[in-house]
Amino acid sequence: MADNVWIIGTAMTKFGRYPDKDVLDLASDVALDAMADSQTSIHDMNVMAVGCQFEPFTLGQKIQKQIGQTGIPVYNVTNACATGASAVRTVIMAIKAGEADMGLAIGAEQMSKPGFIPQMGRPRRPKFEPDGRFGEVMPIEGVLGTDFMAGVFAEAGTAYAAEHDGVGFEQFAKIAEKNHLHSSINPLAQYQKVFSLEEIKASPMQAYPNTLLMCCPTGDGAASIVLVSEKKLKTLDPDVRKRAVKISASVMTSDPWVEEGQVQPDVNTLTRLAADQAYEQSGVDPQDLDLVELHDCFATAELIHYDNLRLCEPGGAGDFIDSGAPMRDGKTPVNVSGGLISKGHPIGATGAANIYEVATHLRGEAGDRQIPDAKVGLTHVIGLGSACAVHILEKQAV
C-alpha cells in the first residue's frame, strides 16, 4: 500500500490583474509563500511540478532560477482548465511512487496582458479548398454551431434540461447570484460584488442561458501547494503537523467514448467516474462533505456538476439550487470562495487554488468566509477536451 500524501503548505495570490508582474513573478512568489507556510525551503523538495496553460515551455526551470536551482526533477504540465490540479497530482504520484518524500506544486497563469486572446478559427480564404480533418472550406464557427466556451457550456446545461425537469434560466441565474454573494467575503476573489438575481438575468446575454454575470472572467493569478509523504510528515515539527491536511483521494480521468461526444464535449461521464473513484478511495460519502469547490466556469456547468458529483438526487440539480443546499449556510456549501464565476479563473492556477481553498477551511484559517468546523471537502476541475481531477481532503490527526 502506497503511503498517504498530506498537504503542509498552501498559498495563492488574489486573482485579478497584475500589469506590473509577469507569470514568473506570480508563480515564484506564491511558491515562496507556500514553502514559508510549511516552514520548508526549496532544499527540502525532491520533486516539483508546474502547471501553466499558456507559458508551458520550461516555466518550471525558469521558476527554479528565481527560487532555487537544486537539480531536482521538474515537470511542466498542461491539461486545459485542469492544468493546476494536474500539477498537484503529478507531485502526489511521485510521492506515492516513493520517488520523493516532499514536493512543490505550482499553478499559474497570466491572461490579462494585451493581445492575449488568441484568434479563433481560420480567416476567410480567397479560394475554397478543403482543409483539416473535416475538410472545411471556410470558417465554420457560427455556421455549424459554436465552439466558444460560453456556448459549449450553455449547451451542456440545456442538454441536462432536456432530460430533467425543473431546470431553466432561473436556476442558472441563482447559481451566479450565490457565487457572487460568496465572493463578497473572499478577499482573494477577483470580484467581491453582490448582484441581485434581476441584475444577473439582465446583464448582457453571451450565449443563452449564460449572461455575462454567469461567465467566469479572465485574469491573472497563481497558487502553490507543498506536499509530503505521511512517513516524512511524522518527522516534522508539531506546529506543521497540526496544520496538515490529508489527501484522502486524488483521481484523474479523461472522457470515455460516447456517441455524441464528438459534437458535444461530454463533461459529465468523466466527472462521474472521477467522483465515484474518489468516494471509493476515501470512504467518504457525498453527504459527509462540509464544502465543495467545483468547476463553475459558467453557471450552466455548476448545475450539472451537482448531479455528476452526486451532491443531489439523480436528476435533481434544479431542486438542489432552488432549496438553497449549495449556499454557504446550506446542506452542502458549494464554491464558498466565489467560484470561477467571481473568484476568477486564471487557467493554470485554478485547480491548485481550489485545493488551497478547501485546505484553508479544513485548517480553520479561512477568516470571514470560514465554514464552521469543516472536516472534509472536495475539489473538482474540468479541462475541456477533456480532463477531470477530483481531490478529497480531510482534517485528521497524524
Partner 1 sequence: MGSQVPIVDYLVIDDGAPYLTANSCEECGALYLDRRNACAKCGKTAFGKKKLADTGTLKAFTIVHRAAPTVPVPYVSAVVHLDGGGAVHTNLVNIEPDPEHVQLNMPVRMTTYTAGVDDDGTEAVAFGFEPDGSA
Name the site residues for partner 1 (rule: CB under 8 A). 120-121, 124-128, 130, 133-146, 148, 150-151, 154-156, 158-159, 161-162, 169, 204-210, 257, 259-260, 262-264
Question: Cβ(277)–Cβ(253) under 8 Å?
Answer: yes
Report the residue number, 40 or 210, with the smaller CB distance to partner 1. Answer: 210
CA distances for 319 relative to 22, 168, 170, 196, angstroms: 43, 11, 12, 20
Shortest approach of partner 1 to residue 169 CB, angstroms?
A: 7
Helix (H, G, I), strand (E, B) or coil at 67: helix
Report CA-CA distances (Å) from 322 to 25, 178, 254, 312, 330: 42, 11, 31, 12, 11
204/314 with CB nearer partner 1: 204
The least CB distance from residue 123 to partner 1, in Å, is: 9
Q: How far is CA 328 from the centre of its chain?
A: 18
| Minimum distance from residue 215 beta carbon to partner 1 (Å) | 10
- Of residues 171, 194, 200, the one with CA closest to residue 182: 194
Question: Which residues neighbour 373 within 8 Å (Cβ) at sequence distance 6 or greater?
Answer: 290
Q: What is the smallest separation between the CB atom of 340 and partner 1, expressed in angstroms?
A: 18
Burial class of 155 by CB neighbour count within 10 A (0 to 12, 13 to 18, 19+): middle
Smallest distance, Å, CB 151 to partner 1?
A: 4
Nearer to partner 1, 6 or 160 (CB): 160
Nearest-approach distance from CB 154 to partner 1, in angstroms: 4
Nearest CB to partner 1, comparing residues 169 and 241: 169
Measure the CA angle with vertex 216, ends 213 and 217; round to 5°: 95
